[in-house]
Amino acid sequence: MDFLNTFLIGITAGAIYALMAISMVLVWRSTRVVNFAQAGMALLSTYFGFEAVSKLGSFWIALPVAMVGGALFAALVEMILIRLLVKHSSTGPIAGVAPIIATLGLLGVIRATAAMIWGGQDVRIVGPVSNDGYSINGTTLVFSPLKLLILVTVLVLMLILSLVFQKTNIGLALRASAYAPEIAKLSGIKVDWVRTLGWALAGAAGAVAGMFQTVNGNGTLSPDSIEFSLLLVSGFIAAVIGGLDSLIGAVIGGLVLGLMISFVLMYVSSGLFFIAPFVILLTVLFVRPQGIFGAKAARRA
Amino acid sequence: MSLNVSNLTVHHGAICAINQVSLAVPTGKLAAIIGSNGAGKTTLLRTLSGLNHPTHGEISWEGQSILGIKAEMLVRRGISHVSEGKSVVPELSVRENLELGAIWRRNNKESKESIDRVVTIFPRLGERIEQRADTLSGGERQMLAIGRAIMSKPKLLLLDEPSLGLAPLVVEQIFQTIRDLASSMNLTVLLVEQNAMGALKIADLGIVLNLGKVVAVNHAQALIDDPAVRAAYLGY
């Protein structure tokens, strides 16, 4: 029973990490930027979600509100900040690094702004269903209706995302722009807009991760939330495990990471909460630096 | 004249890659642009398709200036560019690479018909339609690159070294296909080539570039017969 419990907890946490990893990968693929502000953006989106919950009362309305808010905010960040920095930092020693450092700055700005707006309030989001564990033969599991719901929702979202990527023209444009921007342009794709769209999708995925991370935890939200710092770290590690370039890699990276952390905490020591993810990251980087799904060959010119 | 270039100058930083180039290509004609490495051939094509931007000069296409129009918009005006080095997306399937060429039309039915047409021209692509482009041979990739370009139903086709790195027999096939396409679709073609002889043989006119300047323009056959061009570019 312990094993099943650990497995289910790990897979649920992993599904949330996978969403976060997907948003890191979408941003990386569209602009080649590692977005350290992703957790900050997820935090902000979750505050949007909180506002919607407190005004409209329904988690199921708040979730899309958070997604749309997160998508719009991410799109604005790309259009105003990243596009400019990528264009203007093509030469010099900080070329290529400037946008990444800028995302660190953005993280600080988002947190400080959130603290100014929501800092004094008791911000709480209650999940749509109970987080009390299921009982089997008198034993109570940690796995709950809420966790099941999270798992199913994440899977459905991933299915939709993969259909969009594989079966639609928008998906083809997103992939072509990521792999070969010049050929995409020559094919008539407005690559700048596709990049913005990539950020917007990332913002929406991050918003779902933020909402679920909050309700899956103790339901409270604060600007300096440790849950969100962990979300960033885990999302990043999951994305790296998956090769940073692959959406499937991000999903598997997230699930693997969630499971590994869960099993380490259960069977090794629960004190390893903050160490386990980093040990896993370092191991992956040593053994397979290109990630599990990353291409080995250097990108061609 | 469908394509008119006058006094075109393009810089890469401080280096002048194209210097005061003027040329004209009539509708439906195939022009071979030859010249040694660094002559500015690739830069010229990239400027025509909107990937590079000129310092000064004028480009007009079908009677209108296209200066400053972005590459993604020039495709909509009928200009298709197959850039240097087998311009396909290796991570995408053959079908997806082809779909890419017609994606801006947002008409999936038309896109499917165009794919059928490309597959008739290049049956090999039909056999490999669901394979990833990076599993193709060099010649097949070049066919795919050209196939993608004609998916957008171009009127002006810019081809950058389609023979690069291909076996002689394959080069011959590719050149023949380009000639046939140009004739059957009434395409205006600019063909940049290191393989000067192969290109001039299928071309209507030839343009010789050297160090960013046009040094000779003539009927292709006249260039083949020109002793100076022979000595410098054809190697005999």
Provide the angle, in degrees to the nearest 10, between the axes of the packed helices A59-76 and A191-216. Answer: 140
A-proximal residues of B, 25-64, CB under 8 Å: 49, 51
Chain A residues with at least one Cβ partner in B under 8 Å: 169, 172-173, 175-176, 179-180, 182-191, 300-301
Pick B130 or A91 by higher pLDDT: B130
Interface test with B, best of A183, A189, A195 (most B CBs within 10 A): A183
Contacts of A186 in chain B (CB under 8 A): 49, 51, 71-72, 75, 80-81, 83, 87
- d(Cα A248, Cα A21) in Å, to the nearest integer? 10
Interface test with A, best of B100, B109, B136, B142 (most A CBs within 10 A): B100
The pLDDT value recorded for residue A301 is: 32
Amino acid code (one letter) for B121: I
Contacts of A180 in chain B (CB under 8 A): 89
Whether pLDDT at A90 is above 80 = no
| Digit-coded pLDDT (tens) for A94-153 | 777 888 889 999 999 999 999 999 987 888 898 888 888 888 888 888 889 999 999 999
Q: Is B109 helix (H, G, I), strand (E, B) or coil?
A: helix
User: Between chains, do A179 and B89 touch, taking CB under 8 Å as contact?
Assistant: yes
The pLDDT value recorded for residue A299 is: 40
- d(Cα B151, Cα A63) in Å, to the nearest integer? 41
| Digit-coded pLDDT (tens) for B50-105 | 999 999 999 999 999 999 999 999 999 999 999 987 789 999 999 999 999 999 99
Residue B26, both tokens? 């009539």
Contacts of B87 in chain A (CB under 8 A): 182-183, 186
- d(Cα B201, Cα B37) in Å, to the nearest integer? 20
| Digit-coded pLDDT (tens) for A151-173 | 999 999 999 999 999 999 999 99
At residue A225 the predicted structure's pLDDT band, cuts being 50, 70 and 90, is confident
Contacts of B91 in chain A (CB under 8 A): 175, 179
Check if B90 contacts A (Cβ < 8 Å). yes
At residue A287 the predicted structure's pLDDT band, cuts being 50, 70 and 90, is confident
User: Between chains, do A169 and B91 touch, taking CB under 8 Å as contact?
Assistant: no
- d(Cα B178, Cα A210) in Å, to the nearest integer? 54
Of all residues in chain A, the one with the smallest CA distance to B149 is A187
The pLDDT value recorded for residue A294 is: 64
Q: Out of A183, A189, A191, whose CB is closest to B87? A: A183
The pLDDT value recorded for residue B1 is: 65
Of all residues in chain B, the one with the smallest CA distance to A191 is B72
**What pairing do the DSSP bridges indicate for beta strands B205-210 and A139-140?**
unpaired
The pLDDT value recorded for residue A295 is: 59
- Name B33's bridge partners: B192, B207
The pLDDT value recorded for residue A298 is: 39
Of all residues in chain A, the one with the smallest CA distance to B87 is A183
Single out the residue of A147, A208, A172, A190 nearest to residue A19, CA to CA. A208
How does pLDDT run along chain B (236 residues), one tens digit per residue? 689 999 999 999 889 999 999 999 999 999 999 998 889 999 999 999 999 999 999 999 999 999 999 999 999 999 999 998 778 999 999 999 999 999 999 888 999 999 999 999 999 999 999 999 999 999 999 999 999 999 999 999 999 999 998 999 999 999 999 999 999 999 999 999 999 999 999 999 999 999 999 999 999 999 999 988 888 887 76
Q: Say what the pTM is.
A: 0.89
The pLDDT value recorded for residue B33 is: 96
Check if B12 contacts A (Cβ < 8 Å). no
Check if B91 contacts A (Cβ < 8 Å). yes
**Dihedral Cα B150, B154, B157, B161, nearest 10 deg:** -30
Contacts of A301 in chain B (CB under 8 A): 85
- d(Cα B208, Cα B224) in Å, to the nearest integer? 11
Q: Does domain B3-90+153-234 have CATH number 3.40.50.300?
A: yes
| Digit-coded pLDDT (tens) for A182-208 | 999 999 999 999 999 999 999 999 999
Minimal CA separation from A301 to chain B, in Å: 9
CATH domain A2-89+97-132+155-287 topology: ABC transporter involved in vitamin B12 uptake, BtuC (1.10.3470)
As to burial, measured by CB atoms within 10 angstroms (0-12 exposed, 13-18 middle, 19+ buried), residue A110 is: buried
Q: Out of A173, A175, A187, whose CB is closest to B101? A: A187
Contacts of A173 in chain B (CB under 8 A): 103
Residue A158 burial (CB count, 10 A)? 20
Whether pLDDT at A296 is above 60 = no
Q: How far is CA B219 from CA A251, B61, B191, B226, in A?
A: 59, 21, 14, 11
User: Between chains, do B51 and A182 touch, taking CB under 8 Å as contact?
Assistant: yes
Check if B70 contacts A (Cβ < 8 Å). yes
- d(Cα A231, Cα A132) in Å, to the nearest integer? 23
- d(Cα B150, Cα B2) in Å, to the nearest integer? 18
The pLDDT value recorded for residue A229 is: 82
